[in-house]
Structure 1
Amino acid sequence: HFLCGLGWAWFAWISCDTCQVDQFHVAKAMVLLIAMATTAVLASSLGGALFATFAIPVAVYVYTIMHLWTPIEATMAALLIAALPFFGYVARHLNQASLMVLSFRSEKDALIAEVETAKSMSDEARRRAEDANLAKSRFLASMSHELRTPLNAILGFSEVMANEVLGPMNNPTYRDYAHDVHESGQHLLDLINEILDLSRIEAGRYQLNEEPVMLVTIVEDCCHMMELRARNKDIRIVQEFEETLPRLFADERAVRQITLNLLSNSIKFT
């Protein structure tokens, strides 16, 4: 830029014998102003480049017109002297704006990198969740047979005992116990079938099978199933029902489970 300034200093020094003096000095001043503006924009990132380039040319220009010093030449000289710090101010602000743009671009790139990292972590977490869900489904599918097989045996033997297929049972209490075991096992089998229904688990919803049910019958069965546990704690279950109680439109398995939970908690905390 200093060498370029020497070239502009030569331009400010030259004279034209065939030109009108005022017009020639005005033309040189205009060219120097345009060159200053262009350098301020193009070399704004280089601090001091504008002054290194045009300080000498402006001084040479002022020196060449001092012997004339007409109002036009004086105005051009003052304009060049004032333009040098002005364009320096413009160049500095352009440099600051460029640095700010680069800073914003760097922050944007950092945010993009963070988003990509977060997306990668999210994809990895989703893949692990899918693998865990698949493993859970496989586990439940494999446990289906393991749970149903012994439970079906219990249901079969308890039904044989309750119906006295192999002969009468002398103790009616044992027959009632066998009936309770069969009902409890059947309820447990319904729960297992509900849990092992993979389609409902994967769909993430619980579907009720609503139908008209007798609430009194369900509660009586549940009380009969919990009677032995209550008797072991010296607790007596008192059943009181409305005689005109209508049928309830609900899921029988869900109502039975609710009743068993209420009775179990009542016996446990009484």
Structure 2
Amino acid sequence: MGNGVSNSADKNVVDLSRGHRSHAAAKAVRTTRERLHSSHGGTPAFEKELLVMHAQASLHGAAITPFITIISAGLSAYLSGNPLYIFWALLTLSVHAMNILLIRKAAKRIPTSSRQERWRHALLAGHIAMGCCWAAFGIEACDACGPTNTLLLKGAVLLVVLCTTAMTNILLRQAVLSAFTPVILTLSAQAILSQRVEELGFALAFTAAVLFFIYITGRLYLSNLKLISYQSEKDDLIAELEVAKSMSDEARRRAEEANMAKSRFLASMSHELRTPLNAILGFSEVMAHEVLGPLNNPLYKEYSGDIHRSGQHLLNLINEILDLSRIEAGKYDLSEESVSLLEVTDDCVGMVQLRAKAKDIAISQQSETSLPALWADEKALRQVVLNLLSNAVKFTPPGGEILVKVGWTVGGGQYVSIKDNGPGIAEEEIPVVLSAFGQGSIAIKSAEQGTGLGLPIVQAILAKHGGEFKLKSKLREGTEVIAILPAKRVLQTLPAVEGTQAVEPKRRYFA
């Protein structure tokens, strides 16, 4: 009773954990889908990851802004002769250095912080400060260059800065807008105050360029966000698959261990199961034949016969279960010797002939002559042929016919074919019939029901010999079963060669 309770409890635990795992997996996938299709462009977790990536990319490209600043200040000071550009460069480099310190601090704090929006605003404030520096560059005059050359110089520098800022800040939302809003306002105010068409056109052109880069960086930001979402979804699904696979492997391992334990138990219990049945069969046979004297009541003799027949049937069922258990447990060893397949088949036909006559079933044989012996287990082969013949007699209706063939295969092996004109098996039921404990609808309705282990045992024995089993059947057309032994099992001696060419004996082949 303790074992039964334990097994029941284990079963309940497995069932509950399976449901829990399925619910957890569905919840994880649903959460991932919601993250992917969120209307805010991504969850805070994704934005935090983008901020970290932006900080790391900004630190790696920290030398770009000082390089552009020094080149712009030097070129402008050389062309204009105005030393203010040097002071402007020092101011811009100082602001850039403070931004780098801020970014370095953000790269350390953001991964563990829950206020990534606050850090994003701080980074945008740094971009606004840099934008003010570039706005100061835009209002500086170059009297020695002339109005047109001044606009060309400012336009070239500001466009280079715009492109660089846009490409290095695609992971930070509104970075371009924050950095160049001061520049746009300064250029627009300067154009309005000067009333010059060139400066007004320059301000409009630069504003259009900024809007274009804002659009481009926005699309790139969303693309990166989707890539991170896809990566996260893939990681989640891979994790779920790994968990499911590990759980499945563990469940399969436990099932295999339980199956092997069952098989080992039944295989080791063969003596204990057969011993009481031998006593029942022996004493019931003694009573049925009145060996120790007549029975006073004729019903006792009839009951003794019933006991003997029932015990014999039960012994056959136990033998089938034990045989399959021994095969599954790997304890079914072949005792190989030289065996004649034709003689084994003839003996088995003789054993079922009496049952066939009782049902008015005719058994005919077509066999090859001079078939060589096989290297096989005679008892196992006899069990194969007897199982197949017994099934044919069991399911063939009275007055039916059974055809038994023994011959060569195309590959040089030997086969036994047993064909009946019984009710047949539906095509979709053939896999069920070939499985352990599987029975078709005809077998279930039959008065002579068995365990459904006959054909699996036949398949296992033939597989032990390296052979093959085939079943062909159609409803209302009968069934044909074929047991095939491979060519390597044939013990065939070659005849002496006469002349220059050997004479090949005539054979009929089975495909």
TM-score tier by shorter-chain length is 0.5 to 0.7
Is 1:152 aligned with 2:278? yes
Q: Structure 2 vs 1, CA of residues 260 and 108 (structure 1 numbering), >3 Å: closer, same or farther?
A: closer
Matched residues, percent identical?
Answer: 44
Is 1:191 aligned with 2:317? yes
User: Quick one: which amino acid aligns to residue 281 of structure 2?
Assistant: L
Separation of aligned partners in 1, 2:295 and 2:251: 62
Offset of 1:129 from its aligned partner? 1.0
Alignment match of 2:447 (pick from 259, 262, 268): 262
User: Quick one: which amino acid aligns to residue 246 of structure 1?
Assistant: A
User: Quick one: which amino acid aligns to residue 253 of structure 2?
Assistant: R
Offset of 1:194 from its aligned partner? 0.2
Is 1:90 aligned with 2:275? no
Is 1:69 aligned with 2:193? no
Separation of aligned partners in 2, 1:124 and 1:159: 51
Q: Structure 2 vs 1, CA of residues 170 and 156 (structure 1 numbering), >3 Å: closer, same or farther?
A: closer
Offset of 1:220 from its aligned partner? 8.5
Deviations 1:55-83 (A, max 9, x none): 22233344556648354x44322211222
Which runs of structure 2 are paired with 1:1-270 in the superposition (5 Å)? Answer: 1-63=127-189, 67=194, 69-71=196-198, 73-162=199-288, 167-169=292-294, 173=298, 178-197=304-323, 198-200=325-327, 211-212=348-349, 217-218=354-355, 242=360, 245-247=361-363, 250-252=388-390, 255=393, 262=447
TM-score (norm 2): 0.39
Offset of 1:149 from its aligned partner? 0.7
RMSD, matched Cα: 3.9
* Of 211-220 and 33-42, the range deviating more from structure 2: 211-220
Deviations 1:97-155 (A, max 9, x none): 22222222222222122212211221221122123212322332343222101111222
* Of 190-199 and 178-187, the range deviating more from structure 2: 178-187
TM-score (norm 1): 0.68
Q: Structure 2 vs 1, CA of residues 171 and 263 (structure 1 numbering), >3 Å: closer, same or farther?
A: farther
**3-state secondary structure, aligned to 2:349:** strand
Deviations 1:34-57 (A, max 9, x none): 322332333234333323211222
Separation of aligned partners in 1, 2:448 and 2:142: 117
Deviations 1:212-249 (A, max 9, x none): 3687732788xxxxxxxxxxxxxxxxxxx54xx41279
- Whose radius of gyration is greater, 1 or 2? 1
Separation of aligned partners in 1, 2:297 and 2:349: 32
User: Quick one: which amino acid aligns to residue 355 of structure 2?
Assistant: I
Higher helix share: 1
**3-state secondary structure, aligned to 1:11:** helix
Separation of aligned partners in 2, 1:172 and 1:256: 34
Q: Structure 2 vs 1, CA of residues 49 and 59 (structure 1 numbering), >3 Å: closer, same or farther?
A: same
Whether the aligned pair in 2 keeps the contact of 1:44 and 1:95 (CA below 8 Å) is: yes
Q: Structure 2 vs 1, CA of residues 163 and 261 (structure 1 numbering), >3 Å: closer, same or farther?
A: same
Separation of aligned partners in 1, 2:196 and 2:350: 116
Separation of aligned partners in 2, 1:61 and 1:162: 122
Higher strand share: 2
Whether the aligned pair in 1 keeps the contact of 2:394 and 2:448 (CA below 8 Å) is: no
Offset of 1:171 from its aligned partner? 6.2
Whether the aligned pair in 1 keeps the contact of 2:188 and 2:203 (CA below 8 Å) is: yes
Whether the aligned pair in 2 keeps the contact of 1:5 and 1:57 (CA below 8 Å) is: yes
Deviations 1:195-225 (A, max 9, x none): 112145569xxxxx9853687732788xxxx
Where in structure 1 are there 5+ consecutive unaligned residues? 204-208, 222-240, 265-270
Separation of aligned partners in 1, 2:319 and 2:445: 18
Whether the aligned pair in 2 keeps the contact of 1:26 and 1:76 (CA below 8 Å) is: no
